[in-house]
């Protein structure tokens, strides 16, 4: 499906550094070595409610990954999905007495607007679960044919025991896996499963629920993890550079996805790095659609908040930290934006080459956006207090924060 329009990324003098990033699977930083075309898959929204600041923070992190790569003169092949059929979406549509396809379309359209306003680079392939079904069915059939899947009352489950590498992405102990599986869409209690952690690959058609022709699988709809695997394998192939999402996706979603893909292809790894953003909270609890403690990007925009300030508020936090959204976070970003805009509004200023290098270095070091902001703050403070005579320096700073941080001054 259509994604959203791309904002232009200005070219900067020189070249950026290779990205060193924290990988959940190894538990430490790794320096990525993508080819001329870097490949990234970022899990998309389940469109039953509007984009909140938690979503925006996670997509901001992966937008930075792309900007670092683009600055090394690589191309980026970016794929994102939309989980446009799944239990939470169907439950919300049912609760509110609306058509589930209309709900999904409306919220996806709003997400596109929010992403555009925040200057997030669009994926080249933006793929819905429903449109991916023709690719999902043969993948489930292959898993079944190689003995890694089994049927239970018409539903098809993946057998985690078929994969010796299962557990290597999240590195969690059995009890934690079991608990998270139950909290995050799994059904550990269902009688008849080979292993409580086995996830659903294909859900047989239920009365009153949408279903599709699944060939030898029978009518039904896809499970969650196989959706992202089918889309990633179709558009990126095995061994792509970064699999991204919020930290709540490490288990079970990314663990199961890697396992499905590695089992079905016999190749390893699914992704070179599994990268996870921290959770944004409101009033002391993780912002979540199910709890309803949300601040929506669209609501802030409606209130007249400049989207550039929202972006600066996200950038002021390290992507791996868990942090809390407050009014003060936004106020600080609004003030910073005003200081930066004032500093670049003159034709000359203090030399800017070093600032560009500092931003590059900060981002290459596990996407340290707060350090990048501080580098610009220091330049803006000198501009404010002493000014400078370098012609074009403000223009260079302006282009650098646009290209590397997605901030348009
Ligand atoms: N459709 C699936 C992924 S395939 C899904 O998790 N959708 S979602 O709408 O629930 O979340 C979209 C992305 O936002 C995920 O990467 C998720 O980890 C992230 N996310 C959700 N809540 C927060 C939060 N409070 N803070 C940071 N990131 C969040
Ligand atoms: Zn996903």
Residues whose beta carbons lie less than 5 angstroms from ion ligand 2: 43, 228
Which of ligand 1's atoms lies nearest the C-alpha of 57?
Answer: 27
Per-residue pLDDT tens over the stretch 7-59: 999 999 999 999 999 999 999 999 999 999 999 999 999 999 889 999 999 99
Which of ligand 1's atoms lies nearest the C-alpha of 45?
Answer: 9
- When pLDDT is averaged across residues 145-150 and rounded to a whole number, the result is 97
| % of the chain with per-residue pLDDT over 70 | 100
DSSP summary character for residue 52: B
Q: What is the pLDDT of residue 131?
A: 98
Structure token pair of residue 294: 């949300």
Question: What are the DSSP E strand ranges found in 248-362?
Answer: 271-277, 280-282, 285-286, 323-324, 348-349
Q: Phi and psi dihedrals of 286, rounded to 5?
A: -45, 130
Whole-number Å distance between alpha carbons of 146 and 285: 43
| pLDDT at 319 exceeding the cut of 90 | yes
| Confidence band, pLDDT 50/70/90 cuts, at residue 366 | very high
Query: Rg of the chain's alpha carbons, rounded to an integer?
Result: 22
Whole-number Å distance between alpha carbons of 370 and 64: 12
Residues with CB under 6 A from ligand 1: 43-46, 54-55, 57-58, 81, 83, 228, 245-246, 248-249, 277, 279-280, 286-288
Per-residue pLDDT tens over the stretch 191-216: 999 999 999 999 999 999 999 999 99
Q: What is the pLDDT of residue 291?
A: 83
- Higher pLDDT pick, 180 / 289: 180
Q: What is the pLDDT of residue 97?
A: 96
Q: What ranges do the domains of the chain cover? A: 20-281, 294-405
- When pLDDT is averaged across residues 173-194 and rounded to a whole number, the result is 97
Q: Please tell me the residue having the least CA distance from ligand 1 atom 28.
A: 54
Whole-number Å distance between alpha carbons of 146 and 234: 20
Q: Please tell me the residue having the least CA distance from ligand 1 atom 6.
A: 45
Whole-number Å distance between alpha carbons of 298 and 113: 8
Which of ligand 1's atoms lies nearest the C-alpha of 244?
Answer: 16
Per-residue pLDDT tens over the stretch 57-87: 999 999 999 999 999 999 999 999 999 999 9
- Higher pLDDT pick, 288 / 170: 170
What's the gap in Å between 214 CA and the centre of ligand 1?
28
| pLDDT at 347 exceeding the cut of 90 | yes
Other C-beta atoms within 10 Å of 161: how many? 12
Structure token pair of residue 387: 């000014």
CB 198 within 8 A of CB 159: yes
Q: Given the structure tokens 């929506």, which residue do they identify? A: 296
Whole-number mean pLDDT of the chain? Answer: 97
Fold of 20-281: Rossmann fold (3.40.50)
Q: What is the pLDDT of residue 1?
A: 94
Distance of CA 44 to the CA centre of its chain: 6
Other C-beta atoms within 10 Å of 97: how many? 6
| pLDDT at 168 exceeding the cut of 90 | yes
| Beta pairing partners, 59 | none
| pLDDT at 315 exceeding the cut of 80 | yes
| Confidence band, pLDDT 50/70/90 cuts, at residue 292 | confident
Structure token pair of residue 198: 């086995």
| Confidence band, pLDDT 50/70/90 cuts, at residue 289 | confident
Q: What is the pLDDT of residue 290?
A: 76
Picking from 244, 1, 5, 278, the residue whose alpha carbon sits closest to that of residue 119 is 5
**Whether domain 294-405 has CATH 3.20.20.540:** no
Q: What is the pLDDT of residue 288?
A: 84
Distance of CA 293 to the CA centre of its chain: 20
Best of 249, 291, 296 to mutate for ligand 1, by most ligand atoms within 8 A of CB?
249
Whole-number Å distance between alpha carbons of 153 and 277: 37
Q: What is the pLDDT of residue 165?
A: 94
| Confidence band, pLDDT 50/70/90 cuts, at residue 307 | very high
Whole-number Å distance between alpha carbons of 74 and 348: 31
Omega of the bond leading into 185 within 30 degrees of 0 (cis) = no
Contacts of 284-291 spanning 24+ positions with Cβ under 8 A: 284/324, 286/54, 286/248, 286/322, 287/52, 287/53, 287/54, 287/325, 288/54, 289/46, 289/48, 289/49, 289/52, 289/88, 290/88
Q: Please tell me the residue having the least CA distance from ligand 1 atom 17.
A: 246
Q: What is the pLDDT of residue 68?
A: 98
| Confidence band, pLDDT 50/70/90 cuts, at residue 294 | very high
Q: What is the pLDDT of residue 251?
A: 98
């Amino acid at each position: 499906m259509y994604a959203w329009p791309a904002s232009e990324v200005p070219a900067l003098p020189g070249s950026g550094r290779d990205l060193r990033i924290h990988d959940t699977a190894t538990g430490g930083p790794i320096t990525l070595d993508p080819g001329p075309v870097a490949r990234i898959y970022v899990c998309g929204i389940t469109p039953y409610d509007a984009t909140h600041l938690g979503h925006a923070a996670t997509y901001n992190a992966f937008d930075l990954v792309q900007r670092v790569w683009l600055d090394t003169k690589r191309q980026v092949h970016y794929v994102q999905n939309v989980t446009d059929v799944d239990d939470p979406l169907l439950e919300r549509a049912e609760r509110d007495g609306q058509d589930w396809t209309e709900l999904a379309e409306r919220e996806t359209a709003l997400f596109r607007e929010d992403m555009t306003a925040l200057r997030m680079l669009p994926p080249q392939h933006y793929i819905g679960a429903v449109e991916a079904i023709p690719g999902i069915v043969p993948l489930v059939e292959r898993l079944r044919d190689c003995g890694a899947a089994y049927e239970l009352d018409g539903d098809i489950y993946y057998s985690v025991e078929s994969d010796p590498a299962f557990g290597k992405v999240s590195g969690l102990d059995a009890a934690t896996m079991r608990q998270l599986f139950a909290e995050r869409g799994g059904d550990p209690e269902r009688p008849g499963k080979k292993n409580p952690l086995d996830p659903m690959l294909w859900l047989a058609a239920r009365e009153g629920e949408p279903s599709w022709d699944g060939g030898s699988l029978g009518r039904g709809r896809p499970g969650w993890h196989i959706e992202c695997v089918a889309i990633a394998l179709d558009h990126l192939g095995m061994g792509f550079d970064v699999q991204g999402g919020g930290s709540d996706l490490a288990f079970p979603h990314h663990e199961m996805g890697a396992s499905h893909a590695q089992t079905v292809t016999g190749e390893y790894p699914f992704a070179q790095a599994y990268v996870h953003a921290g959770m944004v909270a409101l009033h002391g609890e993780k912002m979540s659609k199910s709890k309803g403690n949300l601040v929506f990007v669209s609501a802030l925009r409606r209130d007249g908040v400049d989207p550039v300030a929202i972006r600066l508020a996200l950038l002021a936090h390290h992507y791996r930290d868990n942090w809390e959204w407050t009014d003060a976070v936004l106020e600080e970003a609004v003030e910073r934006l005003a200081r930066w805009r004032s500093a670049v509004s003159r034709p000359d200023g203090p030399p800017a080459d070093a600032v560009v290098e500092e931003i590059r270095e900060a981002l290459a070091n596990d996407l340290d956006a707060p350090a990048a902001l501080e580098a610009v703050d220091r330049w803006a403070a000198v501009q404010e207090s002493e000014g400078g005579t370098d012609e074009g320096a403000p223009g260079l700073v302006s282009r650098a924060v646009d290209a590397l941080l997605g901030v348009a001054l």
